[in-house]
Amino acid sequence: MNYKILYNKSMTPQTYLMYHELAPWFHLLTPPAEYADEAELITRLIHLRNPHARTILELGSGGGNLASHLKQKFIMTLVDLSPEMLALSQTINPECRHLKGDMRSFRLDESFDVVLIEDAIMYTTTADDLSATINTCRAHLNPGGLAVIAPDWTLEEFTPGTSHGGVDDPDGRGLRYLEWIHAPVDDDTCYRTDFAYIIQEADGSIQSYSESHTLGIFPTTQWLSALRSGGFKPAIFPDMEGRKIFVAQRGNH
């Protein structure tokens, strides 16, 4: 068995195995079909605030899991840092536009009805990064447009623990993972999640990998303050597990 361990506090999404070397396996880690209910909820929240919304810019779109459902109702433009993840998304979303970019600094000379960020927002680990990302949202929204941001956690809901999952592919490949979520240290705005991946090739050979991701965690008050400072009027809605989704309307100026 080949076993690799990667952990470095300076690692970023640009260097994580999950989004690069192991990107072809991502849909076995988190299958697109599992995002149907979340996409339906996000669609309802968008239409609640803007029933005429048609265009979405998704930042940190990853393997295109959400987009594979949302594209049925919206015209999607997908942005991610990882070329490998964009290539994976193109296999299931060939009709969508795919662009490489960092959510903190990406600029496109276009505006949209909605800017969407799902769990990729967790890679904003400082207050400055959070503000920069919110500014990116505003820069790409029509007046009155919506920023829809769905973090895994705010500080109030955060719970350390473990989870596991993964699925098999009809071609004989398979993946299983173990996730170990650690509590933030002191008053830090970051926490660490360790991942172990076991992958099985179609010929039955096995490889194992391990890496740690550094993620951001902010209290709700900081989220609301950052959104208001960025020119938004924010509202909070619960997701299917009772976690917060921020739906923030850009001002008309």
**77 and 133 together in one domain:** yes
Residue 24 domain flag = no
Using the 8-state DSSP alphabet, how is residue 33 labeled?
A: G
pLDDT digits (tens, 9 = 90+) for 72-85: 999 999 999 999 99
Q: Read off the CATH number of the domain in which 48 is found.
A: 3.40.50.150
| CA-wise closest residue to 31 among 62, 76, 8 | 62
Q: Same structural domain for residues 114 and 232?
A: yes
Residues 116 and 232 in one domain: yes
How far is 132 from 113, CA to CA, in rounded Å? 19
**Distance (Å, whole) CA 125 – CA 110:** 27
Which residues form the domain of 246?
A: 31-153+218-250
Whether residues 125 and 222 fall in one domain: yes
Report d(CA 253, CA 248) in Å as an integer.
15
Residues 51 and 133 in one domain: yes
Nearest to 104 by CA among 68, 62, 75, 133: 133
Number of structural domains found in the chain: 2
SS3 155: coil
pLDDT tens-digit map of 95-148:
999 999 999 999 999 999 999 999 999 999 999 999 999 999 999 999 999 999
Torsion-angle region of 44 (φ positive above 0: left; ψ -120 to 50: alpha; else: beta): alpha
Query: Is residue 62 very low, low, confident or very high in pLDDT (cuts 50, 70, 90)?
Result: very high
